[in-house]
Structure 1
Amino acid sequence: MKVASLFSGAGGLDLGFINKGHEVVWANDNFYDAVQTYKRNISDHILYKDIAEVSSDEIPDHDILIGGFPCQGFSLANSKREENDTRNKLYLQLLRVLLDKKPKFFVAENVKGILSLGKGKIFDFIMQDFKNAGYNVKFKVLNAADFGVPQRRERVIIIGVRKDVDYVINYPESTHDQKIFDNKKPWVSIGKALEDIPEPEEDHSLSNHDYSKFKLKFNGYLGNRAIDPDKPAPTVTARGDDKGGVVVLHHPKNHRRMSVRELALVQSFPINFIFEGNRSSAYRQIGNAVPPLLGEAIASMFPLTLDENEINQNSDKALCEL
């Protein structure tokens, strides 16, 4: 399937789709460093531009539209989140591309906090907008730890199937669990994920293995929590900015904060994936990303090919529903 990606960032979700055999033909983001990271590690098919300034004619035809639209306005980590936060409406750019390009499928990813915004009314509006665009839609909260990511990270995954496409999308079965049962593997602990990573001060050949020297605190707040090495890490966040204010999790030994390389591994990025920009920018790119392993689980829901008969035979029914 040909894939177009909005709000691509460093490319975590895109990498998941590529690893599962799909072809990402176009991507877009307006975070310069993230675009440079994407170009270095994935492809130069990404456009550095504000999506609001990108004409739909500039976007090539595609089968699947994917996008983890910016979530700062929705996130529970943002104590000042409001219904009228302008960032909450960035999903309208995704909707606009859906209406203009009419791909067979779409994926919209966001934080769990989107479900409770405006006592659920905002999410209902979003879902209705997607339905009115001509798609059958559903959603489910997926935890990245359930798919081998050494991090507890819950995200809302909205799936849309164009109404004339006769194909049922089923959410992936988890491969890991907090406890071992039904042939599932145990969650990957943060201690296990980083056990072979040397200290930054030791001899090594790792890229981006530099860490914030910001003083450790243990007050229970975001970025100031003691890490249990025998469990997946808490959610990696992008709270803060690229000027040095990004919140960074403690190392599982709780003697310093994690390096960029370590935090990237917590997000399941390959160890040779190189991040452009300064250290704070790299932290921010990682915090904004969809873990590639979770991206693979999402990508596995979609067929690699689709017979045109599966589309045409249902077109009359879809038109009646519209």
Structure 2
Amino acid sequence: MKVVSLFSGCGGLDLGFIRSGHDIIWANDNDADAVQTYMTNIGEHIKLGDIREIDSETIPDSDIIIGGFPCQGFSIANLKRSKEDERNKLYLEFYRIIHDKQPKFFVAENVKGLLSLEKGKVVELIADDFRKAGYRVSYSLFNCADYGVPQIRKRVIFFGIREDIDINIMFPQPTHSEKPEITGLKPWVTMSQALSHIPEPSEKCDIPNHVFSEYKVFSNKNFTGHRQVDPDKPSPTILARGNGGGGVVVIHHPNNHRRLSVRETAVIQTFPDDFVFLGSKTSCYRQIGNAVPPLFAEKIARQFSNIELFNTVLT
């Protein structure tokens, strides 16, 4: 299917859709480094610019619109989050383009904190907006660790199906579990397992982006970036706090002797080892932390992969 991608970042969500056989025909983001990363690894169909300044008519028609509208205003990490936060209003740009372009389907991603914002009123407001635009809307909370991602990363996924499309699309079922002996599923993938093929940065290797933050490692402070990690569990959430002028919170390596390198955070996020990130070290960490894990994105995208069998319904 033809896909338009909004708030694309470095392309984690897009990569998952490409791996599932879909064709990304147009993408957009306003982060210059992320756009350069995207162009280097995925394609030159991405446009750098503020989505608020892009007319819907200049965006090509597509079967699916996908995107993770900026989540900083929604995040539980932002204790002052509010429905009045300007960053929260960017979902209206996602809504505008869906309303104007009327794709057959849409997929939207956001943080867990969206569910509790204003005691659940905001998420329902968003869902109602999409329903008024002519879509059947469902949403659910997912833990990416349940889909083979070596990371505890909880995200809200919206599915939208245009009202005239007589097809139901189900959310993907988990493939992994914290308690495989009970569920019969595969066990969660641990940090140590995921990073077992990555040598120390001090060793000779040609792995791109294998540089790390030398910010001191603490083990006795109750703060995300200072907590020791359990090598036999999935990683804590890879974060993207900070902006172009500030740093990010970098998780400990599973040996707790240093922080993860840029490449190691990308591995935890399930990017391929040859996916190259451009920009400063801080920018690369941020791009990765903002991304949807490509492996999880692929599981989402597969739900749409067989729909072309129903071309008579979709035309």
Q: State the TM bucket, normalised to the shorter chain.
A: over 0.9
Cα deviation 1:86-115 (Å, max 9, x = unaligned): 100111111111111100000010001001
Structure 1 counterpart of 2:123, one-letter code: F
Structure 2 counterpart of 1:94, one-letter code: F
Please report how far the alpha carbon of residue 244 of structure 1 lies from its aligned counterpart in structure 2 after TM superposition. 4.9
Partner of residue 125, structure 1: 125
Please report how far the alpha carbon of residue 58 of structure 1 lies from its aligned counterpart in structure 2 after TM superposition. 1.2
Structure 2 counterpart of 1:298, one-letter code: I
1:15 partnered with 2:15: yes
**Cα distance in structure 1, aligned partners of 2:82 and 2:246:** 25
Please list, as runs of the form range in 1=range in 2, the aligned pairs for 1:244-259 lying within 5 A after superposition.
Answer: 244-259=246-261
Identity %: 57
1:309 partnered with 2:312: yes
Instruction: Check 1:248–1:56 CA distance in 2 against 1; reply closer, same or farther (3 A cut).
Output: same
Cα deviation 1:255-311 (Å, max 9, x = unaligned): 000000000000000000000001000000000000000100110111341534324
Please list, as runs of the form range in 1=range in 2, the aligned pairs for 1:166-245 lying within 5 A after superposition.
Answer: 166-181=166-181, 182-218=183-219, 219-245=221-247
Partner of residue 283, structure 2: 281
**Cα distance in structure 1, aligned partners of 2:151 and 2:169:** 26
Partner of residue 316, structure 1: none
Please report how far the alpha carbon of residue 82 of structure 1 lies from its aligned counterpart in structure 2 after TM superposition. 1.8
**Cα distance in structure 2, aligned partners of 1:244 and 1:97:** 31
Q: Provide the aligned length of Structure 1 versus Structure 2.
A: 312
TM-score (norm 2): 0.97
1:39 partnered with 2:42: no
Q: Is the 8 A contact 2:20 2:305 kept in 1?
A: no
Structure 2 unaligned segments of length 5 or more: list them: none
Aligned equivalent of 2:272, options 270, 273, 287: 270
Partner of residue 157, structure 1: 157
Q: Is the 8 A contact 1:243 1:281 kept in 2?
A: no
Instruction: Check 1:244–1:124 CA distance in 2 against 1; reply closer, same or farther (3 A cut).
Output: closer
Q: Is the 8 A contact 2:26 2:45 kept in 1?
A: yes
Please report how far the alpha carbon of residue 66 of structure 1 lies from its aligned counterpart in structure 2 after TM superposition. 0.2
Residue aligned with 1:81, SS: coil
Residue aligned with 1:156, SS: strand
Partner of residue 318, structure 1: none
Cα deviation 1:150-175 (Å, max 9, x = unaligned): 00001000000000001101111111
Please report how far the alpha carbon of residue 183 of structure 1 lies from its aligned counterpart in structure 2 after TM superposition. 4.2
Residue aligned with 1:98, SS: helix
Cα deviation 1:101-150 (Å, max 9, x = unaligned): 10000001000100110111111111100000000000111111111110
Please list, as runs of the form range in 1=range in 2, the aligned pairs for 1:28-67 lying within 5 A after superposition.
Answer: 28-67=28-67
**Cα distance in structure 2, aligned partners of 1:209 and 1:311:** 45
Q: Is the 8 A contact 2:22 2:305 kept in 1?
A: no
Structure 2 counterpart of 1:51, one-letter code: I
**Cα distance in structure 2, aligned partners of 1:95 and 1:242:** 27
**Cα distance in structure 2, aligned partners of 1:35 and 1:25:** 15
**Cα distance in structure 2, aligned partners of 1:257 and 1:80:** 28
